[in-house]
């Protein structure tokens, strides 16, 4: 009985999170390169909650006797993968921002140098 209630709660939570992700995609609040990982993260608990037997078998095969611990480990690994991916995206944006700032400074310098003889 408790397992079914747990599955329903996890499925409802997963669908609610997926709904939020879809709404953010629809409103273009979530950038193109970021929506797919968030959609994956939001729907994965839904899949895992109704597909328990393979996870139980995998947990026993790995010597884990408390099956939800395996799901917890995969959840943590998934969160770490998402954090790593987002860190790569942010690092790329920081490098692009620095490059744009340098290009802008160079253009301003050239414009100032071009205006000096004209004033002169």
Query: What DSSP assignment string belongs to 14-34?
Result: HHHHHHHHHHHHHTT-S-HHH
104 burial (CB, 10 Å; 0-12 / 13-18 / 19+) is: exposed
- Mean pLDDT for all residues in the chain: 87
Tokens of 93: 């944006």
pLDDT at 11 over 60: yes
The pLDDT of residue 97 is 98
pLDDT at 26 over 80: yes
Residues 6+ apart with CB under 8 A from 26: none
pLDDT at 119 over 70: no
pLDDT category of residue 116 using cuts at 50, 70 and 90: confident
pLDDT category of residue 7 using cuts at 50, 70 and 90: confident
* Domain extent listing, the chain: 1-50, 68-120
> Pick from 77, 51, 56, 75: which is nearest to 66 by CA?
56
Instruction: Determine the average pLDDT of the residues in 79-88.
Output: 89
| 51-76 pLDDT per residue, tens | 878 888 888 899 988 877 887 888 88
């Amino acid at each position: 009985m408790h397992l079914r209630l747990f599955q329903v709660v996890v499925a409802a939570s997963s669908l609610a999170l997926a709904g939020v992700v879809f709404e953010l995609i629809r409103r273009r609040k979530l950038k193109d390169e970021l929506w797919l990982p968030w959609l994956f993260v939001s729907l994965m608990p839904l899949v895992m909650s109704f597909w328990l037997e393979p996870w139980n078998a995998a947990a026993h095969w790995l010597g884990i006797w408390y099956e939800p611990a395996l799901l917890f480990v995969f959840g943590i690994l998934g969160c770490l993968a998402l954090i790593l991916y987002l860190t790569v995206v942010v690092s790329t944006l920081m490098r692009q921002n620095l490059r744009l700032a340098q290009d802008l400074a160079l253009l301003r310098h050239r414009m100032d140098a071009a205006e000096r003889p004209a004033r002169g």
